[in-house]
Chains A and B, each alone.
Chain A
Amino acid sequence: MSWTDIGALTDIPLRGARIVKTPAGCIAVFRTDEAEVFATSNKCAHKGGPLAEGIVHGKQVTCPLHNWVYSLETGEAQGADEGSIATYPVKIEDGRLLLDTDAVAARNAA
């Protein structure tokens, strides 16, 4: 694991998201609750919609293009839609957001 500081928790609005550019493409970092964050691929499995722009509800996000809903915990599409997005370890330490860049790199290599 290689935890990389990507910014402050408060840089992300509550029930919002920001993106992090990586060699593996854009990663969306979601803030679902005061102190709860998830990181996933920013790209919807359906038509590549930018998930960071979706409405965040519960521990899910709805893609802004065609309303696919993903679990941010598992990356699985919900309901009748079939597909999934990559999820990455992210944690909060002293108000800072740390992303596991090894996981991102591993995904990129694979």
Chain B
Amino acid sequence: MQKLVVIGAGMASGRVLEHLFDTAPEAFDVTLFNAEPRGNYNRIMLSPVLSGEKTFEEIVTHDDAWYADNKVTTRFGEKVTKIDRDRKVVVGENGEVAYDKLIIGTGSAPFIIPMPGHDLPGVVAYRDLEDTNAMIDASAKPGGKAVVIGGGLLGLEAAAGLRLRGMDVTVLHIMGHLMERQLDEAAGYLLKQDLEKRGINVMLKAQTKCIEGDGKVERVLLEDGTVLEADIVCMAVGIRPAATLGQDAGLEMGRAIKVDAQMRTSDPDILAVGECVEFDGNLFGLVAPLYDQAKVLAKTLLGEDDAFKMRELSTKLKVTGCDLFSAGDFAEGDAREDIVFRDPKRGVYKRLVIEDDKLVGAVMYGDTADSNWFFGLIKDGSDISEMRDTIIFGPAFQGGGAAAADPLAAVAALPADAEICGCNGVCKGTIVTAIEGAATTLDDVKAITKASASCGTCTGLVEQVLAVTLGDSFEAKAEKPICKCTDLTHEDVRRLIKSQELKSQPAVWQQLAWKTPNGCHVCRPAINYYLLADWPLDYQDDLQSRFVNERNHANIQKDGTYSVMPRMWGGMTDPDELIAIAQAAKKFDAVVKVTGGQRIDLLGIKKEDLPAIWSDLNDAGMVSGHAYTKGLRTVKTCVGSDWCRFGTQDSTGLGIKLEKRLWGSWTPHKVKLGVSGCPRNCAEATCKDVGVICVDSGYQIGVAGAAGMDVKETERLIDVATEEEAIEWTVAFVQLYRENAKYLDRAYKWVAKVGLDWVKETLDDPATRAALIERFDISQSVYQHDPWAEHVENRKAQYAPLADLTTEAAE
């Protein structure tokens, strides 16, 4: 086994080790030096640690167990003093280690301006856990004052963190606007405003003269005479490569240790990675290219070909609530054109820089939702002339003028090589492959691909890729809003409709601050259901908020015709009904289908014929089968003790009674029942929303079955002795489902969420059952009527065209 020595346990060298252990765990005997008395942690996440949003433990990348598992000899807290290339040994403070291959990953050191007072206790940089802890300690003093020198990425994250810790914070920045390397003036202005709103004082063009104090930091003096009191001073003005070891060892140097595209230094046995290297004249400070380097370095060590390439970088600031993004080059130039979008009220600013029909730079503030798409255009150098007019509005507007885009659709439209995680260079295709493998949660994806495992700003995007790839089976940790019209979840809205006594759709839109004038096709049917279920006597069902089938009381088919299905109570019919159905089928030229729900379906009926066919069926004593509703569909039965030699009870009779009790009720999703006369279960009752199996001793009531997208056997709710009790429990269960489930959750999904135990406990109380049944009956007093008869009587005109101009055609 070759001896590999690694100097520096940072994010880049840590990533090298991960690659090595993944591909060739037995190839190297590794010794790891680290000057910090700990192993590898996610340094980018120090900001959330400083602000208190995370603990240090949460940002540790490699813990002791990881090093032990991979048999890494760790020498933490020990500085390396020298590399002896002739003898191929690394000299540490506590002794030498020989190497066959050596990796230098010493990173960078914060740049400290050598002004008077810079060495006073209380002056810290913002680089490692020690600095972070020093700032956290300083913030413990009530009313403590902090001065941050440097208004770049790091300085602002430090300032935000200290402010969140309760300190009085002033940022001193020498330039005319904040983050001048990443932002233009306008975005810098918005950022300054946002920070000031958070109570952070920002001083621009501020020249620091010196730091003063007696034995420790007390104040900062500016050139213009301003004096700022300070309990702590954080100097975050930049970093310098920490490359002294390489220089002393005589490696070829630029501003840092020079490496080739295989990450080799001028000594082929010594490789270097991270912020201590210089490649092709470039130095590095962001994590994404370091991870690229790590991958290449690991391959070089294993004798595989790969080459490091520079790529476009983008920046996001990790200050909660300040959304900014910048990428590419946005300096002004003669050949360059700007497209600018501003919305001062929302604090949104977007600027795109275009050169030769290509997007070369983008700055966004306040709304960065489309930043990945813009970044992709910059990286790919795509020709944008076709979409120049609307490009500023983002991907949703391309190929259509969208008012409000569906973010999922935007993610679905991304190509497989679109980068999702900038830190780790993970593209959409990699994530999709992982999901198609076995990953079903964010944590899985993080573990397998490393996407969103570093700075975490792409977490939302990764979740969207999960949602797009997995479809309905993806459930994000937090409940999602109903739709883009609101930030509230289904549960929130149901609760608020009850607690605020909201009894109309306009009341919901207004009181709950809907973002659209009157909802959309997703929320309207849900809100309509919640209102009619909770306020049956006050709320008027709104047909225009119903899906076409429930508005027209028939099932729309792919050619725009409808299917018509009369109710057959418990699956029973008679010759007169069959004759009426046959005549209607002939008269309206229907295709006839026997359904799985024990009824007869008439397909291919034109909309304008619906009232006529309904009228005919009504005349023969039949009513709507509600085969199109989120409501009671069918009660499937077997012939039971009436005919069957095995039947134990009158299953047909019970089925008919249940159907007559429940029909016409609206429910969160469709409800199908089955009643079997014996455990042979010919009515297939054990995969229904409610399924009753008759036995000698009575009735076994099962609930929460499914035989659709999912197949699931019912779970036993209770065994009862009498038919009355079977009906009582069934009605109470349906009403409990009506009052509590999320719209479009079938009973089995709802029961899985609330737990069968809760359902049982709730229904176990006779008074609760009685109250549920009473409320159900109140609702039925409004809704249990035949919609066909009602529409024939009152809405017939709506089924005909408004006008027919075919006969008076304008030639």
A contacts, CB < 8 Å to B: 2, 4-7, 11-16, 18-23, 26, 29, 47-50, 53-58, 60, 62, 64-65, 67, 69, 71, 74, 76-84, 97, 99, 101-102, 104-105
* Known contacts A2-B810, A62-B521, A102-B810: A53-B516 contact under CB 8 Å: no
Q: Establish whether residues A65 and B802, one from each chain, have CB atoms under 8 Å apart when the complex forms.
A: no
Q: Establish whether residues B801 and A80, one from each chain, have CB atoms under 8 Å apart when the complex forms.
A: no
Residue of A whose beta carbon sits closest to that of B546 = A55
Q: Establish whether residues A16 and B544, one from each chain, have CB atoms under 8 Å apart when the complex forms.
A: yes
A-B contact count (CB 8 A): 132
* Known contacts A21-B803, A55-B544: A11-B560 contact under CB 8 Å: no
Q: Establish whether residues A60 and B548, one from each chain, have CB atoms under 8 Å apart when the complex forms.
A: no
B38 to chain A, nearest CB (A): 47
In the assembled complex, the Cα of A102 lies from the Cα of B805 at a distance in Å of 12
A-B contact pairs, 12 of them (CB 8 A): A20-B804, A21-B805, A48-B560, A57-B524, A60-B403, A62-B521, A69-B520, A71-B403, A74-B401, A78-B396, A79-B409, A80-B413
* Known contacts A22-B809, A23-B805: A13-B544 contact under CB 8 Å: yes
In the assembled complex, the Cα of A48 lies from the Cα of B409 at a distance in Å of 21
Which residues on the A side are within 8 Å of B809 (C-beta)? 22-23, 105
In the assembled complex, the Cα of A78 lies from the Cα of B402 at a distance in Å of 5
B95 at the interface (CB under 8 A from A): no
B518 at the interface (CB under 8 A from A): yes
- Chain A to chain B: the 8 pairs with minimum beta-carbon distance, closest first: A80-B409, A62-B521, A18-B802, A64-B548, A6-B803, A53-B548, A55-B521, A15-B544
Contact of B798 among A5, A13, A67, A77 (CB under 8 A): A13
Which residues on the B side are within 8 Å of A47 (C-beta)? 558
Q: Establish whether residues B543 and A69, one from each chain, have CB atoms under 8 Å apart when the complex forms.
A: no
Q: Establish whether residues A22 and B547, one from each chain, have CB atoms under 8 Å apart when the complex forms.
A: no
Residue of A whose beta carbon sits closest to that of B562 = A53
Contact of B558 among A5, A65, A74 (CB under 8 A): A65
In the assembled complex, the Cα of A47 lies from the Cα of B557 at a distance in Å of 12
B399 at the interface (CB under 8 A from A): yes
In the assembled complex, the Cα of A74 lies from the Cα of B805 at a distance in Å of 24
Which residues on the A side are within 8 Å of B803 (C-beta)? 5-7, 20-21
B321 at the interface (CB under 8 A from A): no
In the assembled complex, the Cα of A104 lies from the Cα of B805 at a distance in Å of 11
Given contacts A21-B806, A105-B811, 17 further A-B contacts (CB under 8 A): A6-B803, A11-B802, A18-B798, A18-B802, A19-B801, A20-B801, A20-B805, A21-B805, A23-B805, A53-B556, A53-B560, A57-B524, A62-B520, A79-B402, A80-B410, A81-B409, A82-B400
Q: C-beta contact mask, B491-528 vs A, less than 8 Å → 1, else 0?
A: 00000000000000000000000001111110011000
In the assembled complex, the Cα of A99 lies from the Cα of B809 at a distance in Å of 13
In the assembled complex, the Cα of A81 lies from the Cα of B552 at a distance in Å of 27
Q: Is the interface of B mostly helix, strand, loop or mixed?
A: loop
Q: Establish whether residues B810 and A65, one from each chain, have CB atoms under 8 Å apart when the complex forms.
A: no
Residue of A whose beta carbon sits closest to that of B520 = A57
B521 to chain A, nearest CB (A): 4
Which residues on the B side are within 8 Å of A12 (C-beta)? 802
Which residues on the B side are within 8 Å of A48 (C-beta)? 559-560
A48 to chain B, nearest CB (A): 7
Q: Establish whether residues A78 and B547, one from each chain, have CB atoms under 8 Å apart when the complex forms.
A: no
In the assembled complex, the Cα of A55 lies from the Cα of B556 at a distance in Å of 14
Residue of A whose beta carbon sits closest to that of B413 = A80
In the assembled complex, the Cα of A105 lies from the Cα of B810 at a distance in Å of 6
Residue of A whose beta carbon sits closest to that of B402 = A78
**Interface residue tally on B, bucketed by range:** 35 or more
Q: Establish whether residues B403 and A78, one from each chain, have CB atoms under 8 Å apart when the complex forms.
A: yes
Residue of A whose beta carbon sits closest to that of B523 = A57
Q: Establish whether residues A11 and B797, one from each chain, have CB atoms under 8 Å apart when the complex forms.
A: yes
In the assembled complex, the Cα of A13 lies from the Cα of B802 at a distance in Å of 12
In the assembled complex, the Cα of A35 lies from the Cα of B242 at a distance in Å of 71
Contact of B802 among A6, A58, A74, A77 (CB under 8 A): A6
Which residues on the A side are within 8 Å of B792 (C-beta)? none
A44 to chain B, nearest CB (A): 10
B412 at the interface (CB under 8 A from A): yes
In the assembled complex, the Cα of A20 lies from the Cα of B803 at a distance in Å of 5
B405 at the interface (CB under 8 A from A): yes
Which of B396, B400, B806 has its CB near the most chain A CB atoms (within 10 A)? B400
B229-243 interface (Cβ within 8 A of A): none
Which residues on the A side are within 8 Å of B406 (C-beta)? 79-80
In the assembled complex, the Cα of A4 lies from the Cα of B402 at a distance in Å of 31
* Known contacts A55-B524, A65-B556, A80-B396: A18-B801 contact under CB 8 Å: yes
A37 to chain B, nearest CB (A): 11
A68 to chain B, nearest CB (A): 10
Which residues on the B side are within 8 Å of A77 (C-beta)? 400
In the assembled complex, the Cα of A105 lies from the Cα of B551 at a distance in Å of 32
Which residues on the B side are within 8 Å of A26 (C-beta)? 801
A81 to chain B, nearest CB (A): 7
Which residues on the B side are within 8 Å of A23 (C-beta)? 805-806, 809
A9 to chain B, nearest CB (A): 11
Which of A7, A12, A15, A81 has its CB near the most chain B CB atoms (within 10 A)? A15
A71 to chain B, nearest CB (A): 6
In the assembled complex, the Cα of A2 lies from the Cα of B809 at a distance in Å of 12
Which of A16, A23, A26 has its CB near the most chain B CB atoms (within 10 A)? A23
A69 to chain B, nearest CB (A): 7
Residue of A whose beta carbon sits closest to that of B561 = A50
Q: Establish whether residues B518 and A15, one from each chain, have CB atoms under 8 Å apart when the complex forms.
A: yes
B545 at the interface (CB under 8 A from A): yes
Residue of A whose beta carbon sits closest to that of B799 = A18
Which residues on the A side are within 8 Å of B548 (C-beta)? 53-54, 64
* Known contacts A64-B548, A105-B810: A58-B518 contact under CB 8 Å: yes
Q: C-beta contact mask, B14-28 vs A, less than 8 Å → 1, else 0?
A: 000000000000000
Q: C-beta contact mask, B772-811 vs A, less than 8 Å → 1, else 0?
A: 0000000000000000000000000110011111100111
Residue of B whose beta carbon sits closest to that of A70 = B400
Residue of B whose beta carbon sits closest to that of A101 = B810
Q: C-beta contact mask, B176-217 vs A, less than 8 Å → 1, else 0?
A: 000000000000000000000000000000000000000000
B394-450 interface (Cβ within 8 A of A): 396, 399-406, 409-410, 412-413
Q: Establish whether residues B399 and A82, one from each chain, have CB atoms under 8 Å apart when the complex forms.
A: yes
Which residues on the B side are within 8 Å of A29 (C-beta)? 802
Q: Establish whether residues A57 and B558, one from each chain, have CB atoms under 8 Å apart when the complex forms.
A: no
Which residues on the B side are within 8 Å of A6 (C-beta)? 802-803, 805
B540-592 interface (Cβ within 8 A of A): 543-548, 551-552, 556, 558-560
Residue of A whose beta carbon sits closest to that of B505 = A15
Which residues on the B side are within 8 Å of A18 (C-beta)? 798, 801-802
Which residues on the B side are within 8 Å of A81 (C-beta)? 400, 409
Which residues on the B side are within 8 Å of A101 (C-beta)? 805, 810
